[in-house]
Amino acid sequence: MLIKSLLKEKLINSRNKVRAFFFIIFTYVLFFVFQSLLVPKWNYPDFREYLTKSMSDFRKLKKNSVEAIFLGSSHVGEEISPMQIYIESGVTTYNQGTPLQSTDGSLFLLYETFKTQAPKYVFLDVNSFFLSPKSGEEGRTFLLDSSPLSKEKIRLAVACGNGGGIKANIFSNTENLISALFPLYKYHVNWTKLKKTNFTFDISNSEHMYSTFGFDMYSSYAGEPLLWTDLNDIEYQMLAAMDSPFFDGKINESYVRKLKNTDAVYNNHITNESMIYLKKIKEVCDKKGAILVLSKNPVAMFPNLYRSSWTKSKSSEVKKIASELGVDFLDLQYDFDLGIDYKKDFKDFGQHLNYYGDKKVSSFFASYLKDRCKPSYNQFYSENIEKYNRQVSVALLQLERDFCEYVNLLKNFPDEICVLMAVNDCGIESLTEAEKIALHTIGIESQYFATWPNSFIGIVDNGIVQLDMRSNQSIEFSYNIDDKKIRLMSKGFLQNGGQCSIKINSEEFAICRRGLNIAIYDKKSKTVIDSVCFDFHEKEHEAQRQAHLTHKKLREYMEYLISENMEI
């Protein structure tokens, strides 16, 4: 009986241990599933932030397959194309740029890089050198939310918990440290804000990889940036004004911020924290046998509005430091002529370059690396060239402002697109002969636009005109593409002042501004790749778009390119 009792007790204990084990496993899985729901979906196209997937993709690369990496903030992530570099030079690179990347964040990514790669060159953007440690808090949060647990992550979490200070220690701010390592702690309140996107499949876990290799391509444009000379004149005046307590008879807010030593103060000197982390980055590169190169891409935004504005005084500071460290500094704004077009190559009033500018910057680095690295064939990069070129074709279409060139670019999508058109108000009666010919090439008879004011709707599907309708009354038409329901509507100026609509499954894709509104539906990806309006009533006849929606369309097309069912 005693033996039987002991065996029974042992069996019960064993069962309890098994139950406890599975309970722990279940709790662990439940914790991380719940955490993944509440943590912001950095990779979803509705957000401005970079795709988390670009970081997970880097960890999937074949070991020691990358010759160079690029570290830095959005001025790197949005402006340097590894694929463009590979196409032009045969050198494999990866873009490790992330939003608001701080210098300690760059050090973190450098440690992560050398776990799987042995790059010969490490390019470090110098933008973060001039920003206070606290200003990089959001950038650190992104890195922490997007990275697996590691010794380097704990180190960055400690810095994040202490505002990025160099004297940070693990006990200084335990609450911030826990938040950094376990995002659920800070995002638990998000359960009241759950949306459909929170339950969307996280594409960062997909086995497929982006063909951009960390590069976040932008195809929008907005405003005219400053000339380099104006930029430096404004900085000089601003710095001089910061030393005066009064400006135009009022209290000078810049002077007050300077006295308080706040993060809002414009700074043209490298911070102490950045210098310490920069020296650590140099030490790591030397230890691993990599060559560190400092770099800066063009930025032409008002210094008083944008602290990352790039001026000659900042450039001089970096040149001194580069000389002390014995590293090269590539200032692509003041020391090299890339042929940057102020009117076309910036996407947001001079803060960042768009694809036009990105290609010029990437070509520079391709030439630089081609002279220093031995080009080699990489099967994985080569296999992605076609995908990348498809994405570039969409970007070029979205960037084009001239109507005739726009129509010409549509030829890059043979038998794949449906062109949907609707006129709002008027603004189409001033077509040039070249523009009339352009319309005729896609099958639309331009004489329809001779009478003012008109209503007009048109559909060109796979190069075949399905609808070419003009009237002096309001007109509507419905059309089906696969499982999509299309509804077009046009009202000229005399019909209630003019309106138009291009709806696909009840979602509006017309810009709804005066002129010829166009939406390009790609039948393979089942997405709208561009929405544009050409106002021929205006003198320049230039395209009008909504920048944030343009980038969203490009992101959605990129999502399609990596999907499992993609066929090229």
The CA distance from 125 to 114, in Å, is: 18
Amino acid at 530: D
Average pLDDT over residues 81-96: 95
Whether the pLDDT of residue 104 is over 80: the answer is yes
Higher pLDDT, 23 or 142: 142
In this prediction, residue 229 has a pLDDT band, given cuts at 50, 70 and 90, of: low
Share of the chain above pLDDT 70, in %: 69
The residues, any chain, with a CB within 8 Å of residue 349's CB and separated by 6 or more, are: 222, 223, 224, 225, 301
DSSP string, 364-400: HHHHHHHTTS-----HHHHHTHHHHHHHHHHHHHHH-
Average pLDDT over residues 151-173: 59
Q: Which of 97-101, 161-165, 259-263 has the highest mean pLDDT?
A: 97-101
Amino acid at 364: F
Ramachandran region, residue 93 (left: φ > 0; alpha: ψ -120 to 50; beta: rest): beta
Higher pLDDT, 142 or 291: 291
> Angle at the Cα of 279 (from 94 to 361), degrees rounded to 5?
35
What pLDDT score does 166 carry? 47
What pLDDT score does 75 carry? 92
Average pLDDT over residues 222-245: 64
For strand 527-534 and strand 543-544, is the pairing parallel, antiparallel, or unpaired? Answer: antiparallel
Average pLDDT over residues 463-474: 87
* Strand positions, DSSP E, 272-354: 291-296, 328-331
Residue 455, φ and ψ in degrees, nearest 5 = -110, 140
In this prediction, residue 408 has a pLDDT band, given cuts at 50, 70 and 90, of: very high
Whether the pLDDT of residue 46 is over 50: the answer is no
**CA proximity to 318, closest of 300, 332, 305, 307:** 332
What pLDDT score does 327 carry? 97
**CA proximity to 292, closest of 507, 555, 106:** 106
Cα within 13 Å of Cα(431), Cβ side: 23
Whether the pLDDT of residue 518 is over 70: the answer is yes
Average pLDDT over residues 159-164: 56
